[in-house]
Amino acid sequence: MSEKPVDALTESEAEAELKRLAEEIAEHDRRYHTEDAPVITDAEYDALARRNLAIEERFPALVREDSPSLRVGAAAAEGFTKVRHAVPMLSLAKAYTDDDVTDFIERGRRFFDRDKELDIAFTAEPKIDGLSASLRYENGVFVQGATRGNGAVGEDITANLKTIADIPAKLKGSGWPETIEIRGEVYMTYAEFEALKQRSAAAGGQDYV
């Protein structure tokens, strides 16, 4: 059954749809962050989030207190030591269309409007969708890794990150700040993911999506 277009929803339909989306997205968040057992793809999840946001933009008075658009991440999972981020670890805004990119550029130009002579350069690169993580180095030595969690508090995954060969235990060179935090995405290639799925299936383990 196809969904009714957002611009065709009545106010009562929009209210009901926002309730459904809030509950459905919260359930997918729980499966993903707490159980590590997602049942939909990232693209399908993003589609739910986009529909929720589109309805809220059309009916701003209906925005719920538990709206997915008001959440940055998820609560820290049980079983992991909690880590409070020195600086909030926020998420990036997403752009899905050419218009989204154009709007971003215009916002940038308005922000720098005070300097008419300033040349603004942009760099575009593929969006890697993985596990957001922060790496804390002290005097060039990796001492702690953490997930984003809810943006303020994440989980300590130092031991997990130390198993990744691409993450250096010690930074090359010298003159590093006493403390430096590097943030990015932890991910695996499609080939590595397929190999993991096959190993898990052969062992009678989890079926990854």
Q: How far apart are CA 198 and CA 34, in angstroms?
A: 23
User: Which residues touch 88 (CB under 8 Å, ≥6 apart)?
Assistant: 151, 152
Query: Residues 127, 170, 172, 197: which is the catalytic one?
Result: 127
Contact 91, 151 (CB under 8 A): yes
4 catalytic residue (yes or no): no
C-alpha–C-alpha distance, residues 157 and 161, integer Å: 6
**What's the sign of the alpha-carbon dihedral 40, 46, 49, 50?**
negative
Cβ neighbour number for residue 53 with a 10 Å cutoff: 17
Nearest C-alpha neighbor of 95 from the set 105, 87, 85, 86:
105
CB 179, CB 137: distance < 8 Å:
yes
Residues with a known catalytic role:
127
